[in-house]
Chains A and B, each alone.
Chain A
Amino acid sequence: MSAIVHQHVPLTHPRLPRWAPALVGVISLALAALLGISLGWGPVGIVVVALLVYLVGLPVWSRLVENRRAATNRFVTTLVWVSLGIALVPLGSLLWKVISLGAPQVNGRFLTWSMKNVFGESGGIYHSLTGTLIITLIATIISVPVGLMTAIYLVEYGAKSRTASAIRFLVDVMTGIPSIVAGLFAYALFTLLFGPGTKIGFAGGLALSLLMVPIVVRSAEEMLKLVPDDLREASWALGVPKWKTILKVVLPTALAGIITGVTLAVARVIGETAPLLIACGATTAVNLNPASGQMSSLPVFIYFSYTQPGANPKILQDMAWGAAFVLIVVVMVLNLIARVAGKILAPKTGH
């Protein structure tokens, strides 16, 4: 007969109150502000110190009241949120900088003038806008058919064959081609075809299409895969040939997603600078002919205006900010269109 020992085992651990993180946050911010104001730090210094105090304070309190594991958990939770904050600070700072410096530059003259024969005053970015439009259009015209057809092959014909998986794999690898290498490729190709130093709008479009095709392929492939097999089989059962099934049943069903993917791909390449720098060069005049002569584009204009502003650095650097603002607005609008188009054109589900 062993003696029964009544030992009290608590079923719950002591926990910090729900408001503990908030309390520690306020205290550490107050401490840091007090220190910072008395020692004369900037707001950045105060926030950094407050974070450090919080990062130490909360786990220590948790260690004292709760246990080591809970303390670690609280520490990691804080780290996760802090890293999110750190990641978003540059975005906010960048957008603020571009809007505050760029938006005042944009006016009628800025959007409708070129830089031809403009000296010592601010001109416009019309030549770069048209250039960007033409080059991106060429890239889209090349990449959408090729990308879409490849996606159709991968989903409808190749499926799990060895060739299809090889293509799929290499398309993935292609998404990682540095943009400047695409530019060099276009330059090298046009040098071989038309002699050295050929810098034309078409070469830029080709370079961009090399970057755009993989994005189109992958997004279109994902969308085609989402089309239910029932639809295909129903069509075949009615005696419709496979190619007609794809054109009349599969593609319309996936259209919304494909348009979204293409728009995102356009948004992705419209800001590319390096390939256009190599393949199209830059000019100050409006050039609407992609087959001859250098062609300016928004990103290249930003680059040259800021880094090689010439005699009146202030004017051209301000214009660079204005052009950056326009470029960002274009990219954002494209992203918005992609999302809205995806929502509006999406096939009505419910079968």
Chain B
Amino acid sequence: MSVIEQKAGSPKRRLGDLVFANLTFGSGLLILVALAGVAIFLTIQGIPGFSAKAADLDGHANFIAYVWPLVFGTLLAAAIALLIALPLAMGVALSISHYAPRRLAVVIGYLVDLLAAVPSVVYGLWGISFLGPRLAPLYGWLGTHLSWIPLFKGPALNSGRTILTAAIVLAIMILPIITAISREIFMQTPRLNEEAALALGATRWEMIRLSVFPYAKSGIVSAAMLGLGRAMGETMAVAMVLSATGIVSFNLISATNPSTIAANIALKFSDSTGVQVNALIASGLVLFVITFIVNFAARAIVSRGDVRNK
């Protein structure tokens, strides 16, 4: 008959619990709102940019013509960076997980973390003042001897501030994240699989090829995609290293280089006014969408892999 009768198994909800639970849930939602906010505010501020006239688009007829060379440059630089970084990262990750003795592996892990901790502007500083001038003689050689390959048509740029240099700096910057993820996955290979392979007389490389790589396949793919996303969004290193003219070209060592979306925004933002700013924000929205898709796909592959491995 009493009103405060309680069902078994469902204790009284305390006020503190109610408040706390909703508070934590609210901050979770806040993060989602922030993510949506990025898309919404960039769209609001970007809309005038989509219909901008040639005067505000560096002389390009419309927004598509304006953003296409930048998208091209972004993809080209990121793809070259990935091409350089992926094999190196595989080597470094394997040296940590399977080759180096335990103590050495810990040290290598620290060093790779150190590589990740260096701020991007310092990489830019290093790239423009050290790496570029050091690579210039190599570009000169490529330009004279291998100019029949379209990639090295030249004429080579003396300062070395080419898209290839930018891509090399990007490769160094995305190396740690690819290494970190692949290392984790290499280490999770079931010990029994590895030992079975070794017991059958496999060499260390055959053991890795037969038991580690098949297990880590989806992880490597997603690590590479995360690295790709990082490389596409990286701003300062490219903005500082690259001597950009914003053309579409596969020529990697010449004075006329494609620019990237992020570098273009960083270089032009402080001098832009009115609709020019809107056009830059619209190009930022394009970058956001591209990196979001890449990251989304990469994470989807990871979480699908998680389910399978459980």
A contact set with B: CB distance below 8 Å: 69-70, 72-73, 76-77, 79-84, 86-88, 90-91, 93-94, 97-98, 145-147, 149-150, 152-154, 156-158, 163-164, 166-167, 169-182, 184-185, 187-189, 191-192, 196, 210, 213-214, 217, 241-244, 246, 267-268, 270-274, 277-278, 281, 299, 302-303, 306-307, 320-321, 324, 327-328, 331-332, 335
Cα–Cα distance between A104 and B303 once the two chains are bound (Å): 49
Cα–Cα distance between A97 and B229 once the two chains are bound (Å): 28
Q: Tell whether, in the assembled complex, residue B28 and residue A173 are in contact, meaning their CB atoms are under 8 Å apart.
A: no
Q: Which residues of A contact B37 (CB under 8 A)?
A: 185, 189
Q: Tell whether, in the assembled complex, residue A177 and residue B262 are in contact, meaning their CB atoms are under 8 Å apart.
A: no
Cα–Cα distance between A328 and B124 once the two chains are bound (Å): 14
- Taking each of B16, B24, B205, which has the highest tally of chain A beta carbons within 10 Å of its own beta carbon? B24
Cα–Cα distance between A171 and B295 once the two chains are bound (Å): 11
Cα–Cα distance between A81 and B98 once the two chains are bound (Å): 12
Q: Tell whether, in the assembled complex, residue A306 and residue B92 are in contact, meaning their CB atoms are under 8 Å apart.
A: no
Band of interface residues on B: 35 or more
Given the interface contacts A149-B23, A181-B233, does A274 sit within 8 Å of B266 by beta carbon? Answer: yes
Given the interface contacts A70-B203, A83-B88, A87-B92, does A177 sit within 8 Å of B27 by beta carbon? Answer: no
Q: Which residues of A contact B95 (CB under 8 A)?
A: 80-81, 83-84
Considering only CB atoms, which chain A residue lies closest to B130 in the complex?
Answer: A97
Q: Which residues of B contact A84 (CB under 8 A)?
A: 91-92, 95, 108
Q: Tell whether, in the assembled complex, residue B42 and residue A188 are in contact, meaning their CB atoms are under 8 Å apart.
A: yes
Given the interface contacts A87-B88, A150-B28, A303-B124, does A94 sit within 8 Å of B118 by beta carbon? Answer: yes
Q: Tell whether, in the assembled complex, residue B203 and residue A241 are in contact, meaning their CB atoms are under 8 Å apart.
A: no
Q: Tell whether, in the assembled complex, residue A149 and residue B130 are in contact, meaning their CB atoms are under 8 Å apart.
A: no
Q: Tell whether, in the assembled complex, residue A177 and residue B291 are in contact, meaning their CB atoms are under 8 Å apart.
A: yes
* B148 close to chain A: CB less than 8 A: no
Q: Which residues of A contact B234 (CB under 8 A)?
A: 178
Q: Which residues of A contact B115 (CB under 8 A)?
A: 87, 90-91
Cα–Cα distance between A86 and B172 once the two chains are bound (Å): 10
| CB-CB contacts below 8 Å: B89-110 with A | 89-92, 94-95, 99, 108
B contact set with A: CB distance below 8 Å: 14, 16-17, 19-21, 23-32, 34-35, 37-38, 41-42, 44-45, 87-92, 94-95, 99, 108, 111-115, 117-126, 128-131, 172, 175, 179, 203-206, 208, 226, 229-230, 232-236, 239-240, 262, 265-266, 269-270, 277, 280-281, 284, 287-288, 291-292, 294-296, 298-300, 302-303
Q: Tell whether, in the assembled complex, residue A91 and residue B121 are in contact, meaning their CB atoms are under 8 Å apart.
A: no
- Taking each of B24, B28, B30, which has the highest tally of chain A beta carbons within 10 Å of its own beta carbon? B28
Given the interface contacts A278-B269, A324-B121, A328-B119, does A243 sit within 8 Å of B21 by beta carbon? Answer: yes
Considering only CB atoms, which chain A residue lies closest to B292 in the complex?
Answer: A173
Considering only CB atoms, which chain B residue lies closest to A94 in the complex?
Answer: B126
Excluding A84-B95, A324-B121, 13 further A-B contacts by CB distance (< 8 Å) are A87-B88, A147-B27, A176-B229, A179-B235, A180-B284, A181-B233, A191-B45, A271-B119, A274-B236, A274-B265, A321-B125, A331-B119, A332-B117
Q: Tell whether, in the assembled complex, residue A335 and residue B119 are in contact, meaning their CB atoms are under 8 Å apart.
A: no
Q: Which residues of B contact A196 (CB under 8 A)?
A: 277
The answer, among A149, A153, A272, for a CB contact under 8 Å with B119, is: A272
Cα–Cα distance between A72 and B122 once the two chains are bound (Å): 39
